[in-house]
Amino acid sequence: MLRQTLIAGGLFALCGPGIVFAQPPGPRRGERGGPGGGGVEAAVTKLMVFDADKDGKLSNAEVTDTRLTPLWERCDADKDGVVTKDELTAQLTKEAATLGSGRGGPGG
């Protein structure tokens, strides 16, 4: 459990700065923003950009960034070498719940 938390934390530490600076501008006056800046849905959308053939799945050939290998291995639930949008969403939801269960941050 501690190893998974450390791996997830390391992944977010590696990817976090790039994701933060790649964020679109916030909502304009009168618009509502999503909770937590998009959360899991936003992360899935960003990762699905790698889906070159637009089949709704990520293959090894499409995701060549080795920094994503640990995430890839955790997300590929059936170990078929392909990560579906559902597998990605399920794993990121699970990890977000684990990371969000601790105290700290705003209001914590």
**Reduced to 3 states, what is the DSSP secondary structure of residue 50?**
helix
Question: Distance between CA atoms of 9 and 35, rounded to whole angstroms?
Answer: 21
Which helix (H) or strand (E) segment holds residue 87: the answer is helix 85-100
| Model confidence, pTM | 0.58
| Cβ-proximal residues to 12 (8 Å cutoff; 6+ apart), any chain | 99
DSSP state of 49: G
The pLDDT profile of the chain, 108 residues, written as one tens digit per residue, is: 666 665 666 656 655 555 545 555 555 544 444 444 579 999 999 999 999 999 999 998 999 999 999 999 999 999 999 999 999 999 999 999 888 655 555 554
For 52-56, the CB contacts below 8 A with 24+ separation are 56/84, 56/85
